[in-house]
Structure 1
Amino acid sequence: MMSLRGWLLGLLVTTAAFAASVNAQPKAAIKERDGFFYLSPGYTKADVADFYWRSLDGWSEHPAEMAKYYAQDGVYELTYAPVRDFPNAGFKRANKGRQEMTDYFTNFSKQMGHLKYSDPKTWTLLETTEKGTYVFEYTSDGVIRSSGKPYHQTFIAILRMAKDGQIQSVREYWDPYVALRDFGLIKKAQ
């Protein structure tokens, strides 16, 4: 027969193990509301990276899905897009609002296919001193639809979350040379 002390010790250990398992669960979760996605309060930078990855991954096949992670007045900037020198290439520096994002990525999906982003667990994740602002470094691989050639790009993004748990803005940096070369807009010098 177990002593009261042994029983209490067992109860304490069981309670501590249960509390540890509950605390090991992710603090934040992605919630869907009216067809849009939100992060619940208490999210971490890893949660934000996963949320952002979900908005990006597969946009070349389902471009309308991306905007569902952004605030209605959200902004997606492609800071190094070579708009001035290549005005007919389809690049755009800033997309403001869900509809503009959807239009841009729908148009660009005609050029880029099977785009997959690296697993967010492999990303470099930095939280800035500005609350709700994150910096991520990651890669993607896809296929240029017109040539069937592979496309690989490295990115750095500065992301700002809205108070409601959606993405307020992303400023994405990538190598325009890689895009211009791979899309056949410039030729490599011999």
Structure 2
Amino acid sequence: MTVRSPAALYRHGLDLLLAKDFDGWVGLWADEGVIEFPFAPPGAPRRLEGRAAIAAYMTAYPEHIDLTGFPHVEVHRTTDPDVIVVEMRSEGVSVQTGAAFEMPYVAIVTVRDGLIRHYRDYWNPLVALDIAGGTDAPFAGERP
């Protein structure tokens, strides 16, 4: 794999998500990569460790969300060249409800040797519950 800057790797990952290439997206992760969801609602994972766990988590993604765009992506560099802070907004459709949604995010991403090593994903769990169809929906305990 060609080593990309953290910002270029992140943007490539967004393109893969829009193309529904979840295997390609998982391929951007280091074997020991970690993703954290500090605002995860009860029942949803707060931390996934390793590429295999991240891949298993992503297999359900298309059953819940049809991503249609990322109309706002702003990447901020930090004093550490391996770390970026990303402000973004996704748009899509809930597979369960058919309702359109927008989800704002702030992510802190660490990339080393061209692979994602750590990803802390700050998102609004209330929007996630709406996407899932409300607190009574079967998906309510998982993050989209």
Normalising TM by the smaller chain, what interval? 0.7 to 0.9
Counterpart code for 1:100:
A
Aligned partner of 1:143 in structure 2 is 93
Query: Relative contact order, CA 8 A, sep 6+: which one is greater?
Result: 2
What does the per-residue CA deviation read over 1:120-166, in whole Å, with 9 as the maximum and x for residues that have no partner?
xx52221112231100111111111111111210111100011x211
- Counterpart in the other structure of 1:129: 79
Code of the aligned partner of 1:47? A
Larger Rg over CA atoms: 1
Structure 1 position 180, deviation (Å): 1.2
1:110 aligns with 2:60: no
Between structures 1 and 2, the one with greater strand share: 2
Q: What amino acid is the match of 1:156?
A: V
Displacement of 1:55 in angstroms is: 4.8
- CA–CA separation in structure 2 for the residues paired with 1:160 and 1:184: 32
1:93 positional shift: 1.7
Runs of 4+ in 1 over 4 A off after TM superposition: none
CA offsets, 1:56-81, max 9 Å, x none?
434xx443222100111111222211
Higher helix share: 1
2:134 maps to a residue whose letter is L
Within-5 A mapping of 1:1-190: 32=1, 38-40=2-4, 43=5, 46-58=7-19, 61-82=20-41, 84=42, 87=43, 91-113=44-66, 115-118=67-70, 122-162=72-112, 164-186=113-135
Normalised TM-score (structure 2): 0.80
- Cα RMSD of the aligned pairs, angstroms, is 2.2
1:18-68, CA deviations, whole angstroms, 9 ceiling, x for partnerless residues?
xxxxxxxxxxxxxx3xxxxx424xx3x64244234235434xx44322210
Stretches of structure 1 lacking an aligned partner (at least 5 in a row): 1-31, 33-37
Distance 1:174 1:70, change over 3 A: same
Q: Could you tell me how far 1:106 is from its partner in structure 2?
A: 0.7
Q: What SS does the corresponding residue of 1:123 show, helix, strand or coil?
A: strand
Q: CA deviation at 1:116?
A: 3.2
The structural deviation recorded for 1:99 is 1.3
One-letter code aligned to 2:62:
S
